[in-house]
Amino acid sequence: MKIGMLAMSGVRAHDQELLELGLTLPGFVERSKVIAQLPSLGLLYLAATTPNDHEVAYYEATGDREEPPEVYECDLVAISTFSAQVKEAYAIADRLRLAGVKVAMGGLHVTVCPDEALQHADYVVVGEGENIWPKVVQAAAADERPRIFQAKEAPPVDIHHLPVPRYELLSGRPYNRYTVQTSRGCPWRCDFCASNVMLRQLYRKRRIADVLRDIDAIEAVRPDPFLEFADDNTFVDKAWSKQLCRALAPRKLKWFTETDITVAEDEELLDLLRESGCRQVLIGLESPDRNALEGVELRSNFKARWAYRYHDALRRIHDHGVTVNGCFTLGLDQHTPDIFAQILNFALETALYEVQITVLTPFPGTPLYSRLLSEGRILSPGAWELCTLFDVNFQPQSMTVDELRYGLRWLGEQLYSRECTATRRKAFLRRRREYLRKARGSEFHREHKTQAL
């Protein structure tokens, strides 16, 4: 069979005024340009587990009716879904099936809504795809009737036996970043986290040799790539993280990842991050207001426990020359309209190099979604297209919907203005210089003391 891997690409937002504002704000535009081009790692993994007797190609669609004509020449098309684009994906799937092409769907959204997806696809996969995918391919080749496949029908995915994603399928495409995974999962359970549905297994870290092997495969396609680790939370295990950084250092790479704030605890790890080419870490701070974080992480109240250390932790990370992309979730239950100015002040005080603001989003399958639905607070149930992190689709508890929408816009205007961006970044650089001066000073003292002894 000829199998097409169809990734939905680009970022989504529907709030018209926000979109117009985005066009004039360098911060919004910069970030979305950078990330909009990431390839679908999930589909590259599936390509690698496809039995050899089938031909595989990788395609992208930026939206409904944007699918390339080549997909209609395939026998089977695999589509990866996120909630925000799932209706576009369904429309493409409907057209493909009308044209006689079989369609398989998997990914975060259909894992939660498999029955909905089965109305548009021949085969729907719930959960991690690597081990079940060959069975789906077999079913398509044998012309079996449509059905839902559960990942658990196959042995669980063993993180130590992941194949090399087929990055070579991307050659000739102009990506500015490539994704690689060093781990899967996260020990925390934040009630809004949309990755949770895929995290049934515990936090799993890969063998470092396997990560390096995958980076070799990326470098064969694109020399000197910028890497983004598509992990849920990279530096959970500090000893393993140090080994990873030591192994990456000689490769002279530039990379970015997502982690939690505990990375700041370990000075040696912070040094190693810088030395190994880590340019930025993205951290979900969610709110500078500790009260708003109470109960957000369901396992051990992690976010609230760490909130009072935010200033100190960010300073340590910055001191070591790693920039932080601090992410804030607007519209948590305790957030009143004062939160927007609080976040602006916090970002300036802590000299955040990059800031990401998004609205609380009830993704299907999350505890947040069930809670808001039972409280009658979802504005348009089933409006998955609004799961963009920028569109408001719930009734906030301590402000109105418009206060949240306009607050997001106001805060975006402030944070991403040229002046505010320059002020934050200059403060970061000034503090870094101060730290280096002090560090050199204490080294000088230490040396003199040793000589005197």
Say how many C-beta atoms besides its own lie within 10 A of residue 109's C-beta.
28
CB of 313 to ligand B12, least distance (A): 21
CB of 98 to ligand B12, least distance (A): 19
Q: Residue 331 to residues 334, 343, 354, 398: CA-CA distances in angstroms?
A: 8, 12, 20, 8
CB of 451 to ligand B12, least distance (A): 50
CB of 157 to ligand B12, least distance (A): 6
Q: At what angle do helices 267-275 and 238-248 cross, to 10 degrees?
A: 20
Of 351 and 356, the one with the shorter C-beta distance to ligand B12 is 356
CB of 103 to ligand B12, least distance (A): 9
Say how many C-beta atoms besides its own lie within 10 A of residue 382's C-beta.
11
Distance CA 126, CA 107 (A): 7
Of 41 and 227, the one with the shorter C-beta distance to ligand B12 is 41
Q: Residue 226 phi/psi, 5° resolution?
A: -95, 125
CB of 72 to ligand B12, least distance (A): 18
Of 128 and 214, the one with the shorter C-beta distance to ligand B12 is 128
Of 39 and 321, the one with the shorter C-beta distance to ligand B12 is 39
Distance CA 150, CA 234 (A): 27
Distance CA 345, CA 415 (A): 10
Distance CA 183, CA 442 (A): 37
Distance CA 43, CA 290 (A): 39
Say how many C-beta atoms besides its own lie within 10 A of residue 366's C-beta.
21
Of 108 and 314, the one with the shorter C-beta distance to ligand B12 is 108
Of 46 and 351, the one with the shorter C-beta distance to ligand B12 is 46
Q: Is the dihedral of CA 138, 143, 146, 147 positive or negative?
A: negative
Q: Residue 78 to residues 50, 59, 69, 134: CA-CA distances in angstroms?
A: 11, 10, 15, 12
What is the per-residue DSSP string for 134-166?
HHHHHHHHTTPPPEEEEGGGSPPPPGGGPPPP-
CB of 89 to ligand B12, least distance (A): 8
Distance CA 103, CA 100 (A): 9
Of 41 and 96, the one with the shorter C-beta distance to ligand B12 is 41
Q: Could you tell me which residues come within 8 angstroms of residue 17 by beta carbon, excluding any fewer than 6 positions away?
A: 409
CB of 263 to ligand B12, least distance (A): 16
Of 84 and 339, the one with the shorter C-beta distance to ligand B12 is 84
Do 289 and 335 form a contact (C-beta atoms < 8 A)? yes
Distance CA 128, CA 149 (A): 11
Do 275 and 297 form a contact (C-beta atoms < 8 A)? no
CB of 260 to ligand B12, least distance (A): 12
Residue with nearest beta carbon to ligand B12: 106
Pick from 192, 322, 314, 184: which is nearest to 261 by CA? 314
Binding residues for ligand B12 (CB under 6 A): 7-13, 35-36, 38-42, 45-46, 78, 80, 82-85, 104-109, 125, 128-130, 133, 136, 179, 181, 194-195, 198, 230, 232, 258, 363, 387-390
Of 104 and 317, the one with the shorter C-beta distance to ligand B12 is 104
Of 177 and 431, the one with the shorter C-beta distance to ligand B12 is 177
Of 66 and 265, the one with the shorter C-beta distance to ligand B12 is 66
CB of 135 to ligand B12, least distance (A): 10
CB of 223 to ligand B12, least distance (A): 22
